[in-house]
Amino acid sequence: MSWRTTLGLALLAAALVSGWSAWRMRDRSEPPPVAAQRSDYVLRDFEMVMLAKDGSESVRLKAPELQRSREDESLAIVQPVFLMPAREGAWRLGADQGWVAPAGDLIRLEGNVAGDSEGGNPSQASLRTGRLELLPEQSLARTDDRVTLTQPGIIQTGVGMEADLKTRNYRLLSQVKVRYDPPKR
């Protein structure tokens, strides 16, 4: 055997050992999972106006952040404040989180939901609950959670509520308690 054959066999053996070693040491970890839900776009520190079918203002929204889902085109909102017009004044509704359906016909507010009527109406009202659904086209609000509704001279609590935000008619559904608190003179 010549020295060239010996050198060739040694190099072939070294190549096989290094290839086998590299194959055994390869990265066997799973690839990082792709995010389940990605956003089409993100808005920060914005104000948006949604219009009704007749072109009138239906809802005004202010929030520090909004993300639009690529999969279902819904909107996820951080600390939303919705302004809903009413006959006399408007409703200001805020929460920790908000969600808007793709068609804009359903809004869900979750976490520390606070609603206050604004404007010159003498029957100012405020509501507090943990979760609230809004139907902007019908100016309706509803919830199955515990609600506290406060108006001048009266505090009402109950579980479940339906409200017509334009006419300011409220209906508590169950476990209703009313406390009269006349204004001090």
Kindly tell me if the per-residue pLDDT of 153 is higher than 80: yes
Residue 5 clears pLDDT 90, i.e. is over it: no
Stretch 120-142: mean pLDDT: 83
Query: What was the pLDDT predicted at 164?
Result: 85
The pLDDT of residue 134 is above 70: yes
Q: How confident is residue 34, by pLDDT bands cut at 50, 70 and 90?
A: low
List all residues 6 or more positions away from 126 whose beta carbon is below 8 Å from its beta carbon.
Answer: 114, 115, 116, 117, 149, 150
In the three-class reduction of DSSP (H, G, I as helix; E, B as strand; rest coil), residue 18 is classed as: helix
Q: pLDDT band at residue 29, thresholds of 50, 70 and 90? A: low
- Residue ranges of domains in the chain, CATH in brackets: 39-180 (2.60.450.10)
Q: What angle do CA 59, 47, 67 make, to 5 degrees?
A: 95
Question: How does residue 35 score in pLDDT terms, banded at 50, 70 and 90?
Answer: low
- Is the pLDDT higher at 7 or at 120? 7
DSSP for 126-170 reads EEEEEEEEEETTTTEEEEEEEEEEEETTEEEEEEEEEEETTTTEE
Taking the alpha carbons of 103, 50, 135, 61 in that order, is the dihedral positive or negative?
positive
Q: Which residue has the higher pLDDT, 148 or 7?
A: 148
pLDDT confidence of residue 71: 85
* Rounded average pLDDT over 33-43: 68
Decide: 83 and 59 in contact? Cβ < 8 Å: yes
